[in-house]
Amino acid sequence: DGGITQSPKYLFRKEGQNVTLSCEQNLNHDAMYWYRQDPGQGLRLIYYSQIVNDFQKGDIAEGYSVSREKKESFPLTVTSAQKNPTAFYLCASGSRRAGELFFGEGSRLTVL
Amino acid sequence: AQSVTQPDIHITVSEGASLELRCNYSYGATPYLFWYVQSPGQGLQLLLKYFSGDTLVQGIKGFEAEFKRSQSSFNLRKPSVHWSDAAEYFCAVGAEETSGSRLTFGEGTQLTVNP
């Protein structure tokens, strides 16, 4: 079945460690997105990519990094520079034209 | 820049009652509008979308929404709520001019359904 796979679903890390969240899609979408979700704040855009080897900062990119080496994959690294990394992270994909986004099941990161 | 406001943080309804969740958007041209639903610890599922044409759109699970340009609104409705509708609901706006499927989301409305 086509869809978006995020891993791991739960991740615990110590302060100061970088962590990488995986996002893979087999929907043949050009565009991929990372959102952060905190209680009462909705979804905030971290980074997005509309084509391989290109990506743009979203509204809250500080402390995060991404790469887009393959169309299917858009990993997110939460670096030690991110002040408050504990959150629920959602990956999504969509067409480069206007349209809906398709979401993965999310990854919950807890920094101890 | 586009923005979305969901005025109600939390709504409680009784099972079988009607439901309306409010959404107001800000965008200069014709927006693309969406409603998503999220169960705890899960991703978002699309309920319905509006791109153009008929201003009343039907979605999955018996939901509908009406686009009202004069009020900059896109409210979600359901005639009779089921206990399984308890979830968080997000309204989102997009526009072709601002890079394709990039969406801006509201802060969400948490729906509780009483038996």
The predicted-structure confidence for A67-105, as pLDDT tens digits, reads as follows 999 999 999 999 988 889 999 999 999 987 767 899 999
pLDDT of residue B78: 98
CA distance A108 to chain B (A): 8
Mean pLDDT of chain A: 93
| Positive or negative: CA dihedral A31, B52, A59, B20 | negative
Cross-chain CB nearest to B101 (options A40, A42, A100): A100
| CA B73-B112-B19 angle, 5° bins | 40
Lowest mean pLDDT across A15-29, A45-59, B20-34: B20-34
Q: Does residue B101 surpass a pLDDT of 70?
A: no
User: Average pLDDT, stretch A11-33?
Assistant: 94
Q: What is the pLDDT of residues B41-94, one digit of tens each?
A: 899 999 999 988 889 999 999 999 999 999 999 999 999 999 999 999 999 998
B7 forms bridges with which residues in the sheet? none
Q: How far is A53 from chain B (nearest CA, A)?
A: 16
Interface test with B, best of A21, A41, A43, A93 (most B CBs within 10 A): A43
Query: Which of B104 and A98 is assigned the larger pLDDT?
Result: B104
pLDDT of residue B31: 85
Residues A53-76: what's their mean pLDDT?
96
Residue B38 has pLDDT above 70, yes or no: yes
For chain B, list residues whose CB is within 8 angstroms of any CB belonging to chain A: 9, 32, 34, 36, 41-46, 49, 51, 90, 94-96, 99-108
CA separation for the pair A89, A78 (Å, rounded) = 10
Residue with tokens 């992270």, as numbered in its chain: A89
Does residue B98 register a pLDDT over 80? no
